[in-house]
Amino acid sequence: MPQHHADSGALIPLITAGQTLVNKIDAPYARAMHIVPVLVAAVYGAVAGLLLPSAAYRLAVPAGQPRRTTCPEKHVLAGWRGPARCRSCAAHATGRRARDAPGVRTAAFAVTTGVLCGALAAAAPSAGAVAAVAVTPVLVLLGWIDHVVHRLPDVLTLPLAAAVAVLLGAGAAVSHNLGPFTRALLAGLVLSGAYFLIFLINPSGIGFGDVKLALPLGMLFGWHGWLFVALGAFAGQLLAALYGTVLVLSRHAGRSTRIALGPFMITGGFVGILLGSWA
């Protein structure tokens, strides 16, 4: 019996050393398994960003005007995907490379969507984060259009809401947990309803496009909890207020100047989604 205890004691250091070795081997594998989704999401975002500029140029028109079908030189545009560059203008620009349409930068779209998708994927994995990554290119496109022409096209906001609901519903079905999905749907309705009430009280303060944008954003917030619905909504309003204050103080705008709320709602949305994913 004493010999048996001695043999067992001698095995303990060997077991500990073996476990340490296994942990050292597993650590790089675990890091790689975390990095791969982030890289995939970043590449997805960058590629999607490369496809956005043409649609951005076509849709960035004031309310009531038809979508653009020609370049500034009145050449008919072909396709909705890819850089906002006119092939006819490029063919006549001997010795020069085709340039992006004024105000539309392909690289800026690619970098923005790539970074945001990568950041969302780096957060704790969840159906909410996956849905947010999937729709990030559309959110970036909406933010840019609203910044340029103060308009959120129905052709983007309404399908976006449907897509978010489908993605979150799929996540709930896979996880066999309808709780977060039910809360997400309710949060979307509550946030959109709150914006609708503000629109009724002060129509000059926000546009009806903001009301429709609040629906998918509220669903993305609500998946993570009611706290993040409040945080995301508050962050958007705070950023808009700070931006407006800077414009007034720098005398680039007056107190009655309207600013596009959509970009700040979307930026605040990313803050809320990231906080919810990391929580």
Q: Which residue do the tokens 């653009």 mark?
A: 68
**pLDDT tens for residues 44-60?**
999 999 999 999 999 99
- Show Cβ contacts of residue 59 under 8 Å, excluding neighbours closer than 6 positions: 67, 68, 141, 145, 153, 155, 156
What gap in Å lies between CA 181 and CA 170, rounded to an integer? 9
Residue 25: per-residue pLDDT: 46
Q: Are 264 and 258 in contact (CB under 8 A)?
A: no
| Mean pLDDT for all residues in the chain | 83
Model confidence at 42: pLDDT above 50 = yes
What residues make up the domain containing 227? 2-51+105-278
Indicate the range of 74-78, 114-118, 154-158 predicted with least confidence.
Answer: 74-78
Of 195, 194, 190, 187, nearest in space to 219 by CA: 187
233 in a domain, yes or no? yes
Please state the pTM of the whole predicted model. 0.83
Does a structural domain hold residue 185? Answer: yes
Q: How many domains does the chain have?
A: 1
80 within some domain:
no
Q: Is residue 225 part of a domain?
A: yes
Residue 87 in any domain: the answer is no
For residue 162, the number of C-alpha atoms closer than 13 Å in the C-beta half-sphere is 6
Residue 138 domain flag: yes
pLDDT at 152: 95
In a domain, 143, yes or no: yes
Q: How far apart are CA 145 and CA 152, in angstroms?
A: 7
In angstroms, the CA 47 to CA 113 distance is 9
Helix 127-149 to helix 208-222 angle (10° resolution) is: 160
Does residue 185 carry a pLDDT above 90? Answer: yes
Which amino acid, one-letter code, is at 109?
A: F
One DSSP character per residue, 225-256 reads: -HHHHHHHHHHHHHHHHHHHHHHHHTTSS-TT
The string of pLDDT tens digits covering residues 117-171 is 999 998 867 788 899 999 999 999 999 999 999 999 999 999 999 999 999 999 9
Q: Is residue 176 part of a domain?
A: yes
Q: Where is pLDDT greater, at 114 or 279?
A: 114
The widest CA-to-CA distance across the chain, in whole angstroms, is: 96
